[in-house]
């Protein structure tokens, strides 16, 4: 039960639109009742969920120095 002396945020229904156009309704404190939240990044496109590869830039040769020094280590891999 919500305490009356605390100013609680307005919790209401909004529509969420994913990057591929699919939509769903959820409860949120975002905006006001009936607003639409259009996502720029979601599990359909973000590499963390899609398994995409992230490239590392080797600035000043640090990555290559690290790999030459520690590249042959296997951390629990057999």
The pLDDT assigned to 48 comes to 73
The pLDDT assigned to 66 comes to 81
CA atoms of 77 and 64, how far apart (whole Å):
21
Distance of CA 68 to the CA centre of its chain: 32
Pairing of strands 12-17, 23-28: antiparallel
Q: Confirm if 39 and 18 have CB atoms less than 8 A apart.
A: yes
Provide the residue-wise pLDDT of the chain in tens; the chain has 78 residues.
667 788 888 999 999 999 889 999 999 999 999 999 998 888 777 777 777 665 666 666 777 788 788 877 776 655
The pLDDT assigned to 58 comes to 66
The pLDDT assigned to 61 comes to 77
Sign of CA dihedral 64, 69, 71, 76: negative
């Amino acid at each position: 039960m919500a305490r009356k002396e605390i100013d609680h945020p307005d919790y209401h229904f909004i529509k969420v639109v994913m990057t591929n156009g699919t939509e769903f309704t959820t409860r949120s404190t975002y905006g006001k009742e009936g607003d639409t939240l259009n996502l720029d990044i979601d599990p359909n496109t973000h590499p963390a969920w899609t398994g995409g590869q992230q490239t590392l830039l080797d600035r000043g040769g640090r990555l290559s120095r690290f790999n030459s020094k520690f590249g042959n280590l296997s951390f629990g891999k057999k």
